[in-house]
Chain A
């Protein structure tokens, strides 16, 4: 373990070009997919939480099922859809970063929707009753609800980002873990471990944990600033 720490430090200090490439691909994939999931998931989560429309319960159950979707199944679906014989094969997206982002968006958006839906469903009735009692219109009620949602949005983003950065099954299947192109931290760890380079694998794992810790700490600080 000590050797792994040393090697992780050496890798960072030396500015190893392959490591930097893996890091930048990981950051691109995880940050973009989690942001897209947030943009898609927050409005849907709010809609599921406050909306009273036919089929809402079915959608909620479906979403909760998708929250547990195994990454490899998600990867397989995207592989079939975007492979040469699939309906979107002509787009030639397989083994590129955009398809890795798409697969992760499909995987983590249900988490954002679920987190927001649970919070909004608990908060909205009391908020609505108070706001209606004061005579506030629909627009003002919606803005107040959005203001209440800041903290759960950060929590939802943290969950989505954590799932995205730690995920390996989907990105490996649709990205192919191609060195200098689609290799991310998790697929690189798998690759080095398969080659027997355990120390390098552990070193990368430590860097991955460090990155995750940094993002979590930054967002937790932001959350505390917003809710002192």
Chain B
């Protein structure tokens, strides 16, 4: 998959100005960058939540599943929240078990903790079938054990269905664990994109090099 080049502005302020991006199917692409670099805006535009300038069609003929940064729990039980996106209850059980939610299945989702809500939201998204999954910091609220379990679920989904995954993360370690490709954004512009091995270990761009230094990796 390839996106179209696009810009995104709020009033007179352009917050994203990007060339075409490669989002290969069957691969996880990590998007990294400092706060305000436009990572979440990129996710929201690709997911169709916000329109690019001039209503540019950024992704053509692609079913996109998007997990927002802040997970929303609908006013119903955890299980019903997950089953909102598919009726396969065996699959729902499997997902809940993978993330340790099985004991919370009947609990009202509004009473889950932040981490549990994030797990529920990931299970709910993974109930659906999409060509591209956009995950905006899916594990930010999770503990390490849950993070690793969630990463395994994402990896498995990508491998089994051949869908593309765009993973927005602040964690360089997570990007290194999961991604085959990486995109580095700086102040709304593309600084570097390519194989994760190169971008995350031997970046060519001085901005990416400085970012990795700041993160101490």
Shortest Cβ distance from residue A224 to the other chain B in the assembled complex, whole angstroms: 12
A133-157 vs B, CB cutoff 8 Å, 1 = contact: the mask equals 1110000000010011011000000
A191-228 vs B, CB cutoff 8 Å, 1 = contact: the mask equals 00000000000000000000000000000000000011
Shortest Cβ distance from residue A108 to the other chain B in the assembled complex, whole angstroms: 26
Whether A134 lies near B84 (C-beta < 8 A) is yes
Whether A133 lies near B75 (C-beta < 8 A) is no
One of A30-38, A80-88, A94-102, A122-130 at the interface: A122-130
Contacts of B172 in A (CB 8 A): none
The reply on B67 being an interface residue by CB < 8 A is yes
B75 contact from A126, A132, A227, Cβ within 8 A: A227
Count B-side interface residues using an 8 Å CB cutoff: 26
CA distance A148 to B74 in the complex (A): 7
B45-65 vs A, CB cutoff 8 Å, 1 = contact: the mask equals 001110000000000000111
CA distance A130 to B128 in the complex (A): 13
Shortest Cβ distance from residue A175 to the other chain B in the assembled complex, whole angstroms: 40
Whether A134 lies near B72 (C-beta < 8 A) is no
B21-54 vs A, CB cutoff 8 Å, 1 = contact: the mask equals 0000000000000000000000010011100000
The reply on B174 being an interface residue by CB < 8 A is no
Whether B70 lies near A132 (C-beta < 8 A) is no
A132 contact from B66, B71, B74, B128, Cβ within 8 A: B66
The reply on B68 being an interface residue by CB < 8 A is yes
Chain B residues within 8 Å of A, Cβ to Cβ = 44, 47-49, 63-68, 70-72, 74-76, 84-85, 108, 110, 121, 124-125, 128, 130, 134
Chain A residues within 8 Å of B, Cβ to Cβ = 126-130, 132-135, 144, 147-148, 150-151, 227-228
**11 A–B contacts from the bound complex (CB under 8 Å):** A126-B70, A129-B49, A130-B71, A133-B47, A133-B67, A134-B66, A134-B85, A135-B64, A135-B128, A144-B84, A148-B75
